[in-house]
Amino acid sequence: MAAQEIQIKREPMEEAELDNRIIELCSEIPKGITDAVIQNDMPQFSPQERVMAINRLLSTNKVCLLKSGSQLIYKLKDPDVGNKTKGGDTQEQIMYQIIEDAGNKGIWIRDIRTKSNLPMTAVNKLVKSLESKKVIKAVKSVSASKKKVYMLASLEPDRSVTGGAWYSDQDFESEFVEVLNQQCFNYLEQRVKLARESNSEPMTQRNASFASSSDVWKFITELGISKVSLAVEDIETILDTLIYDGKVEKSIVAGGGAADGESQVKLYRAITPVIINTGLMRSPCGVCPVFRECHEAGIVSPSTCLYMKDWLDA
């Protein structure tokens, strides 16, 4: 006879303890917490119980739900916001709710109009009213220079809106990216060199030549070459470009689990291309799809080829 699964019913006091502790964690970490943070702090509660607690807090407007990359972030709601919108009419309350639902990715004013079914003149007036009360703010999106999105004033815009560390005043910092690209590759190359000089077994050497994205991030941070604060995700973006260039390989291994909130660890290693390209393949002609139709006085001509000119000027 199969043993019956024992269901443990939580008392209301335990549920209140979980709710209060989540609020405390949100207060201690103003930028927001993930489910992994809650799990590490209170491992005695099951995933289902944590979800139910979050739903209770969301339904009572004590926390709000945001998205950062692939992670869900729980953050305390600003208590002053409710006071600032109390004097507004029904339309203003609806407007606030639409913008709040957009989270930290914001919402375009035309989308606000579509969702509210209000004329554009009324939408503009209500948005300006909420802006004057400092309840919402306008943020320029890097995807369109003339496009502004609106979000709650207390929120930090998502990286998809601001462009993250790679943009300054909506301009792409190509030189900064190039410097980071080179420094990350130099660090990984040095790891390979040190591993080879250790004179250990081939497999040990190979394992020692890998570095985690956190290791590379720590190296870049200690170098002090960045004026802005970089996250591990920023460094992983740079490392991905090195992978596309064929300079680095990536390996994913099991992480430490719930202890550090990481189920997987990304490891990177500098590599040497197996085949060195010939001189012809490095020129635009070597990869040109219309190479056979290229001739003087033709529609495609070497003397008018912009790619050839840029390559020679580089």
Q: What backbone phi and psi angles, to 5 degrees, belong to 198? A: -75, -15
> What is the model's pLDDT at position 88?
58
Residue 104 lies in a domain: yes
Residue 2 lies in a domain: no
CA distance 291 to 302: 10
- CATH of residue 188: 1.10.10.10
Does 89 share its domain with 57? no
Residue at a domain's end among 162, 182, 203: 162
Please report, as a single letter, which amino acid is at residue 245. D
Residue 206 lies in a domain: yes
Does 30 share its domain with 58? yes
Phi-psi region of 268 (alpha: psi -120 to 50; beta: other; left: phi over 0): beta
Q: What backbone phi and psi angles, to 5 degrees, belong to 83? A: -65, -35
Residue at a domain's end among 116, 139, 162: 162
Confidence of residue 279 (pLDDT cuts 50, 70, 90): low
User: Is the predicted pLDDT of residue 186 greater than 90, yes or no?
Assistant: yes
The residue among 47, 15, 16, 20 whose CA lies nearest residue 34 is 47
Mean pLDDT over all residues of the chain? 82
What residue numbers bound the domain in which 259 lies? Answer: 171-270
User: Is the predicted pLDDT of residue 286 greater than 60, yes or no?
Assistant: yes
Q: Among the listed ranges 76-90, 229-243, 249-263, which one has the minimum average pLDDT value?
A: 76-90
pLDDT average, residue stretch 124-152: 86
DSSP letter string, 128-152: HHHHHTTSEEEEEETTEEEEEEEEE
69-125 tens-digit pLDDT:
667 888 887 665 555 665 556 778 778 878 888 888 889 999 998 888 889 999 999
> What is the model's pLDDT at position 227?
80
Does 289 share its domain with 213? no
Residue 133 lies in a domain: yes
Does 131 share its domain with 183? no
Residue at a domain's end among 162, 186, 211: 162
Does 93 share its domain with 36? no
Task: Tell me what percent of the residues of the chain surpass a pLDDT of 70.
Answer: 83
31-78 tens-digit pLDDT:
889 999 999 998 888 889 899 998 888 888 788 777 666 678 888 876
> What is the model's pLDDT at position 169?
67
CA distance 50 to 128: 38
Does 65 share its domain with 148? no
CA distance 302 to 145: 36
Does 129 share its domain with 40? no
**pTM for the full model?**
0.52
Residue 190 lies in a domain: yes
Of residues 166 and 189, more confidently modeled: 189
Residue 6 lies in a domain: no
Does 232 share its domain with 292? no
Does 96 share its domain with 20? no
Residue 1 lies in a domain: no
Our count of domains for the chain comes to 4
Does 198 share its domain with 211? yes
Of residues 1 and 217, more confidently modeled: 217
> For residues 170 and 142, is the Cβ–Cβ distance under 8 A?
yes
Residue 275 lies in a domain: no
Does 198 share its domain with 258? yes
Does 59 share its domain with 20? yes
pLDDT average, residue stretch 224-238: 87
> What is the model's pLDDT at position 3?
47
